Amino acid sequence: MPKRKLDPLPAAAFQIMLALAGGDLHGYAVMRQVEEQTGGRLRLGPGTLYGSIQTLLEGKLIEEVDRPEKIEVRSERRRYYRLTVAGRKMARSEAEKMADVLRVARTRKILRGDYV
Amino acid sequence: MSEKMYIRLLRLYPSRFRKEYEGEALQLIRDRLRDETGFFKRARLLWDLVADVLVGLPQANRNSYGATEAASLSLNAEGIPSFKVLVEEPIGRGSILLGGTLSLATIVAFGFLLSRSMAHLPVPGSNGRMSPIEAVVERLNRATTPDTPISGPEEVSRSTSVGASERQPRPWPAAAASTSKNGRMSSIEAVVERPNRATTPDTPISGPEEVSGSTSVGASERQPRPRPAASASTSKSHASALLPESGNVAGGQNHIVSIPTRNPNEHSLYLTTQLRAGEPSAWRGTLTDAFGRPVRLAEVHLIGGHGELMARTAVDGSFAFSELTSGDYEVVVVLGGREVAHLKALHLSAISSRSRLTLASGGRLLVSRPGKLP
């Protein structure tokens, strides 16, 4: 089941995986990270964010981890998520697919050379 | 958008999602409310949340929230059937409300069916002509008195006025039978036997004079009428007071009073009263159905100006009122807690062996002492 839901990989799920690739994050941080890495185009609402997180958890692409000790300042309980090995692999293959698309687009002169 | 409004929006999500992520989602909203201030950012937040519900709801519904635990379970017990518990939360308030409403509706519907009158429904084992009450009574009687003959309505005249018909083989029982053969009993029928001349030698009234149809008592007695005309009038008016011309009845008098049942399709019940000498105010009687079979365990209520009197019928259908004063009475027969028959006005006055039973207009039955008649 989870495979079918993640094939094709939804944009929100891919962005969450990319955000988590930099390190373990909690929900709100993921949302901020996604917003930042998309230049403010994609702001995940709670429903989309946690729905995607649940999908990724079911697909074992990310996992929930214990709270890192260094952030103990706030008393709020937050759950942190980490990209699994499978998730990293999948994110890479997804990025490669996009790179292929980019290459084609560049050869067709759709994109100019100053991109990636 | 306030936090409370978003809590309402969250109710749209599957319960498992809320259980898992409600706190996190609210925390995220709180964080955003804290970080994003100003009109533009708040408006953007509102837009984000509405769009998020539209986009995120289908996805949240697609997820199977028990899959992460179920996967490990199926690995451990591969090939062996196992039950997966997907929902582990208590029954919701909505389900309890729905179940309660459905149960109440079922109870109300069942109660309505029970309280409806079942009189029009045929009772198994009875033929079409019998009412349910009569069928039940018949079965009861069959159990107690198996020798009771069960036949048509002709039984009425035979069993209720045995003395007269046996001693007086006159055509009047046939006339009574003819009125009942058509299935519709008259509302009031009174069959009066002539009082014994030995006990009432001073009775100045001869046979034909006593026949009175629906006319008043006094007029019919003062003007003697030929009998054929009288019998014709009784059959026409369906309210008959039939008298044998020369009755030498040794016992008391038999008065048959038909009490209309509540259901007009059913046969009437019959009160046979016996007036005996020496019991001036006693009123004994037998309650029978249309076929002359006794109705037992019924309550005969007499409702008059002095209150209500009640007598219960015995196994043979007999009942007795010991102290009766003259006056108008309403007769109500209650069987099994239900009122089955009702006679609006029964006029009883000075009941004694000298009394004469006559039928007055308006279905009134007059029991009167001849000497006091005008």
In this complex, the residue of A5, A43, A51 whose CB is nearest that of residue B56 is: A51
Question: Comparing C-alpha atoms, which of A100, A89, A88, A31 is closest to residue A116?
Answer: A100
Across chain B, mean pLDDT equals: 62
Please tell me the predicted confidence (pLDDT) of residue B240: 31
pLDDT tens, position by position, B300-338: 887 776 677 888 888 888 888 776 666 677 778 888 887
Residue ranges of chain B assigned to CATH 2.60.40.10: 152-372
Which of the 8 DSSP states describes residue B362?
G
Virtual torsion, Cα A9, B13, B87, A78, nearest 10 deg = 70
pLDDT tens, position by position, B4-34: 888 888 888 888 888 888 888 888 888 888 8
Fold of B152-372: Immunoglobulin-like (2.60.40)
Percent of chain A scored above 70 by pLDDT?
83
Q: How far is A69 from chain B (nearest CA, A)?
A: 19
Percent of chain B scored above 70 by pLDDT?
41
B147-164 as b/e: b if 16+ CB within 10 A: eeeeeebbbbbbbbbebb
Angle, helix B39-62 to helix B3-10, in steps of 10 degrees: 20
Contact A46 B51 (CB under 8 A): no
pLDDT tens, position by position, B351-373: 444 444 444 444 444 444 444 33
- Quick one: closest CA in A to B17, which residue? A51
Task: List CB contacts (< 8 A) between B42 and chain A.
Answer: none
Residue B135 has pLDDT above 90, yes or no: no
- Quick one: closest CA in B to A59, which residue? B68
Q: How far is A54 from chain B (nearest CA, A)?
A: 7
Strand arrangement, sheet containing B298-304: B307-312, B298-304, B327-335, B338-348, B364-368, B356-360
> ipTM of the assembly?
0.80
Please tell me the predicted confidence (pLDDT) of residue B144: 58
Task: List CB contacts (< 8 A) between B27 and chain A.
Answer: 27-28, 76, 78
In this complex, the residue of A1, A5, A49 whose CB is nearest that of residue B28 is: A49
Contact A48 B63 (CB under 8 A): no
Task: Choose, out of A54, A55, A75, the residue to mutate when testing the contact with B (most B CBs < 10 Å).
Answer: A54
In this complex, the residue of A45, A49, A58 whose CB is nearest that of residue B68 is: A58
C-alpha distances in angstroms, B294 versus B144, B288, B371? 11, 4, 34
Fold of A2-107: Arc Repressor Mutant, subunit A (1.10.10)
Question: Highest mean pLDDT range out of B95-104, B138-147, B160-169, B193-202?
Answer: B95-104
Please tell me the predicted confidence (pLDDT) of residue B301: 82
pTM for the model stands at 0.38
Residue A105 has pLDDT above 70, yes or no: yes
Contact B55 A47 (CB under 8 A): yes
pLDDT tens, position by position, B204-255: 433 333 333 333 333 333 444 444 433 333 333 333 333 333 333 334 455 6
Sign of CA dihedral A48, A50, A54, A59: positive
Number of residues in chain B: 374
Q: How far is A104 from chain B (nearest CA, A)?
A: 31
Residues B32/B78, Cβ–Cβ less than 8 Å: no
Residues B335/B295, Cβ–Cβ less than 8 Å: yes
Task: List CB contacts (< 8 A) between A46 and chain B.
Answer: 6, 21, 24-26, 28-29, 49, 52, 56
How do the domains of chain A map onto residue ranges? 2-107
Q: Write a three-state SS string for chain A.
A: CHHHHCCCCCHHHHHHHHHHHCCCEEHHHHHHHHHHHCCCCCCCCHHHHHHHHHHHHHCCCEEEECCCCCCCCCCCCCCEEEECHHHHHHHHHHHHHHHHHHHHHHHCCCCCCCCC
> Chain B: which residues have CB within 8 Å of chain A?
6, 13, 17, 20-21, 23-29, 31-32, 44, 48-49, 51-53, 55-57, 59-60, 62-65, 67-68
What is the CA angle B292-B298-B299, rounded to 5? 125
A64, β-bridge pairs:
A81
CA atoms within 13 A on the CB side of B197: 9
Residues B134/B267, Cβ–Cβ less than 8 Å: yes
Question: Comparing C-alpha atoms, which of B252, B227, B223, B217 is closest to residue B175?
Answer: B227
Virtual torsion, Cα B339, B340, B346, B350, nearest 10 deg = -80
Token readout for B66 is 């028990």
Token readout for B227 is 């009998």
Give the pLDDT band of residue B187 (cuts 50, 70, 90): very low
pLDDT tens, position by position, A50-95: 888 988 998 889 999 877 665 555 556 788 999 999 999 999 999 9
Which backbone phi and psi does B239 adopt, to 5 degrees?
A: -125, 100
Residues B256/B338, Cβ–Cβ less than 8 Å: no
